[in-house]
Amino acid sequence: MLVVENLQLKLNGNSIINGLDLHVGKAEIHGILGENGTGKTTIANLIMGTNSYRPTGGRIIFEGEDISRLSVSQRAKKGITLAWQEPARVEGLTVRDYLALSAKNGQIEQYLLMVGMEPAHYMDRDIDATLSGGERKRIEMASVLAMRPKLAILDEPDSGIDIVALPLLLNGIIEMNRQGSSVLLITHSERVTEIAHRVSILCAGKIISTGAPLETSQWFKNNCLTCPHINEPTQ
Amino acid sequence: MVRYSVEEEYRGMIDAYQKAGGDESVLKSQDTAKLVVHQNKVLANDGIKGLKIDTEETASGVRVNFTIEKGTKIDRPVHLCFGLLPKEGLQEIIMKVDAQENSQVSVVAHCIFPNAVKVIHKMDADINIGANAKFDYKETHYHGEGGGIEVIPRARVRVEKGGVWQSTFALSQGLVGKLDYDFEVFCQEKAVAELVVKAYGRGSDDIKIVEKIHLDGRGARGMAKSRLVLSGKARAEVRGETYGNAPYARGHVDCMELVNGKEAVAVAIPIVSVTDDTAKVTHEAAIGSIDRKQVETLMARGLDENEAVDVIVRGILK
């Protein structure tokens, strides 16, 4: 589904992504676990083509095609989408209209229910500053669910989400995956990666380990959380 | 000049009214008060109990006396439709509004100039909102793509004790042409004024907005808000002025102008002043480009860049 080969990004002379290799299979939930500053959000931007990021080396192959130079819209039309860590707010755009932009069928209420939101309370509200960060985040997730993408990139899906809503959100991701979507789950939380099929550990813009969620999370705990060389992999 | 029969004028106005977002069935309803004016001809004038609309045709437009009698509360919005179908012409509306004490009304005005090449539309309004009366006025313009129109709305509004004046002026369909908007409101004790202007300037549109609120009575409140989006070579100057002249007056000026492209020019001039040490007037003015993250958020759902910008602009001007 998604193959990232030797991906590199230099910004202002600094290497941000450093020869990153990644494979996400069809209908796979693939977690990327990393501490702050390891390049997690940059990977999301590079794969989606947002923030004007274009690789300075390597390739991003989606369903056999190099998409590195495509626009955000072109990538979205191929079935890729992104839920931002801090989603944008758009004055005057209602939740209903926002979800309708993504929805492949008219039943948009169900996507709000899937993230634990009551449609009657939210449908006619604007996705502006009157929503809390957690509400906006869940609406972003509902919008991704409504799109039924081939590949959903979820950047820190749990940030700003309370403990009551988190299980609903994770169930929504599992349900989306059951319906055939691949998911790239970018997070610093081992709890979130429990729903992944495989997890990769990111350090200094490079994948340094990939494996089953439990073992990889344990490795992350044992090695990364206590690492004296954060973001400077020595092996 | 092309001549129109009265039927053609009415049909043409209704067609344009629908294109501007109006609902024809509203104009047919017997329970709805309405006034339809083409150039200087009154094509329909239906008041209802408690509301009198007196008109007088002049050489270049109409005089309108709009009176809501004391204590009258009108449930359904009153519809006004002004316009000019030919490519050239002048329409001057001289309006006097008397919303008597404890009255309440909502007025929806559509101003329609679909074929304008050289058209001037002027409105001079003298408005009095009585004690504890509430008047909500929404004016939406529909212009064609010619841009050959000059719109000059002027209003002086007095709001008596406890009265409320709310107005929204929206011009986002078709080219603006030249807009010279000037509304000034004087608020007495505990009166409220809210002025909102929304416009989408494109091509060579030239927009000048003046919103002035005088908070002259104790506890008076006012907000002057503007939302403009400019592209092409459009230019806009927005002046929002609020004067807190009485104890515990509260006012706010809120101006946001977004520029899409390199040749459009936006200027914001907020002026706030207080002459009483318990009054408070604040302002915020922002000029910038359309937020890239907003655009990319919508593009990531499959919209093209232009579609995404259009959704954002429509949201801002909603």
Tens digits of per-residue pLDDT, A16-40? 999 999 999 999 999 999 988 899 9
Instruction: Measure in Å the smallest separation between the Cα of B124 and chain A Cα atoms.
Output: 31
Q: List pLDDT tens digits, range A51-108.
A: 888 999 999 999 999 999 999 999 999 999 999 999 999 989 999 999 999 887 778 8
Q: Where are the domains of chain A?
A: 26-52+77-224
pLDDT at position B147: 78
Q: Which helix (H) or strand (E) holds A174?
A: helix A165-178
User: Are A126 and A92 contacting, i.e. CB atoms less than 8 angstroms apart?
Assistant: yes
User: A76, B297: Cβ pair inside 8 Å?
Assistant: no
pLDDT at position B1: 46
Q: Give alpha helix (H) positions in chain B.
A: 6-19, 24-28, 292-299, 305-317
Nearest CA in chain B to A152: B300
Q: Best interface-test mutation with A: which of B225, B301, B303 has the largest number of A CBs within 10 A? A: B301
Residue B308 located in a structural domain? no
Report pTM: 0.80
User: A77, B293: Cβ pair inside 8 Å?
Assistant: no
User: B301, A102: Cβ pair inside 8 Å?
Assistant: yes
ipTM for this prediction: 0.93
Residue B170 located in a structural domain? yes
Q: Compute CA distances A39 → A4, A33, A201, A208, whole Å.
A: 15, 10, 11, 13
User: A73, B314: Cβ pair inside 8 Å?
Assistant: no
User: A91, B315: Cβ pair inside 8 Å?
Assistant: yes
**In the CATH scheme, what is the homologous superfamily, with its name and number, of domain A26-52+77-224?**
P-loop containing nucleotide triphosphate hydrolases (3.40.50.300)
Residue B315 located in a structural domain? no
Residue B231 located in a structural domain? yes
User: B301, A76: Cβ pair inside 8 Å?
Assistant: yes
Confidence band for A233, pLDDT divided at 50, 70 and 90: low
- Tell me how far the alpha carbon of residue A66 is from its chain's centroid: 20
In terms of residue numbers, what domain contains B277? 6-290
Residue B210 located in a structural domain? yes
User: Are B308 and B298 contacting, i.e. CB atoms less than 8 angstroms apart?
Assistant: yes
Q: Best interface-test mutation with A: which of B299, B312, B313 has the largest number of A CBs within 10 A? A: B299
> Could you tell me which residues of chain B have a Cβ less than 8 Å from any Cβ in chain A?
291-294, 296-305, 308, 311-312, 314-318
What total number of domains does chain B contain?
1
